[in-house]
Amino acid sequence: MTIRRSRLNCLFVLFVAAVAAICSWPPRTYASSSAGNPSVVLTGRRVLVLGDSITQDGRYVTFVEYYLRRLVPAEKSDLISVGLSSETVSGLSEKNHPFPRPCVLERLDRALKAVKPQVVLACYGMNDGIYHPASSERLAAFISGVHQLISRVRASGAQLILFTPTVFDPVPIHDRTVPADAGKFGYDKPFAGYDTVLAEYARAELALSEPGVTVIDLHGPLTTALFAQRSRNPSFSFSPDGVHPNDTAHLLIARIILETLGYSLKGQIASAASIEKDPLFPLIRDRRILRSEAWLPFIGYRRGETFKSASVAAAEEVAALLQEQIYARPIN
């Protein structure tokens, strides 16, 4: 098994180097698929953000809000981000997972009713393959879940923007990945080629043709950027644990989203370290975290057990004060 893993990792690095020869950093164009208008206004509208642990981490959401404050200073942002760790849209879960993975469809109607969004952003896929090799049944479950998500958001009157899954990187965790014939797979022992499954899910989402639904490809541009960086630094990774993006990747995700939606980031700060030095940034970050931690249990969710809180009123009062500080601070 060790020989198989080493050989697979070597092949991956060689493939990275070959592809990187034709790549540039950062990616210059971002793909999207939409049966409606791909240019969606986020400022001045109520926006609900759904996703798994990558969205619960929320750094890309903070970066999006930061850029919106700079790009459209006359309009206020109203993003409520309620990502949930371990969540799927497929309802699938590994047999050995500590608890059944939560499914967004269980809480979606409550979230739509409570938040009353005009726009919904949703990023799923990373957990939906449950870290196994490709399977037509699991792909079908993912596509079915996406269609149910589309149907319910459409029924609420909101516009939906789907993000394809981010990248799984086996290189930093090569010592715990397993080959396709391993028999047992999961988050702790993921299939070494799991990113091919995510690429398949991304293609399925980009192939959707649904009125009023925009699909933004994160997987393709992140893969391109990863290959470009690794050609210069073989140990480079966007995700130290193979799954969860670091600051650099979260910032790139935010830029992909905004540029695909038609926002021009030309001349804007392009490094996470520089953004975090801006006194405006911690205000936006703290407000986003405050609202996320209040709205997630207010909507209610299941993650092994059921979590529910009675109100978000106190958090929203503090968020309003932070919003005043954010819009009182001049843009540098």
Q: Is residue 235 pLDDT above 70, yes or no?
A: yes
Q: What is the pLDDT of residue 25?
A: 38
Q: What is the pLDDT of residue 258?
A: 96
| Confidence band, pLDDT 50/70/90 cuts, at residue 37 | very low
CATH code of residue 308:
3.40.50.1110
Task: Give the Cα separation of 194 and 204 in Å (integer).
Answer: 16
C-alpha distances out from residue 260 to 1, 218, 253, 255, 283, Å: 42, 10, 11, 8, 26
Residue 148 amino acid letter: Q
Task: Give the Cα separation of 58 and 220 in Å (integer).
Answer: 21
Partnered with residue 306 across adjacent β-strands are 302
Q: What is the mean pLDDT of the chain?
A: 90
Structure tokens at 151: 């149907």
Percent of the chain with pLDDT over 70: 88
Q: What is the pLDDT of residues 182-210, one digit of tens each?
A: 989 999 999 999 999 999 999 999 999 99
Quick one: which of 93, 83, 100 has its CA closest to 131? 93
CB 82 within 8 A of CB 292: yes
Range of the domain at 118: 2-328
Q: Is residue 1 pLDDT above 50, yes or no?
A: no
Q: What is the pLDDT of residue 212?
A: 87
Residue 4 amino acid letter: R
Q: What is the pLDDT of residue 332?
A: 80
Please state the rounded mean pLDDT for residues 257-278: 95
Q: What is the pLDDT of residue 295?
A: 98
Q: Is residue 6 pLDDT above 50, yes or no?
A: no
Q: Identify the residue whose tokens are 């608890």.
A: 99
Q: What is the pLDDT of residue 31?
A: 60
Structure tokens at 121: 């952003």
Q: What is the pLDDT of residue 41?
A: 83
Q: How far is Cα of residue 73 from the mean position of the Cα atoms in its chain?
A: 25
Task: Give the Cα separation of 223 and 25 in Å (integer).
Answer: 11
Q: What is the pLDDT of residue 199?
A: 98
Structure tokens at 188: 């702790």
| Confidence band, pLDDT 50/70/90 cuts, at residue 15 | very low
Q: What is the pLDDT of residues 268-296, one digit of tens each?
A: 999 999 999 999 999 999 999 999 999 99
204 SS3 class: helix
Q: What is the pTM of this model?
A: 0.90
Task: Give the Cα separation of 289 and 56 in Å (integer).
Answer: 9
Residue 191 amino acid letter: F
Lowest model confidence (mean pLDDT) among 11-15, 33-37, 105-109: 11-15
CB 250 within 8 A of CB 60: yes
Please state the rounded mean pLDDT for residues 141-146: 98
* Domains: count for the chain: 1
| Confidence band, pLDDT 50/70/90 cuts, at residue 38 | very low
| Confidence band, pLDDT 50/70/90 cuts, at residue 32 | low
Structure tokens at 59: 């750094």
Q: Is residue 2 pLDDT above 90, yes or no?
A: no
Q: Is residue 78 pLDDT above 80, yes or no?
A: yes
174 SS3 class: coil
Please state the rounded mean pLDDT for residues 295-316: 97
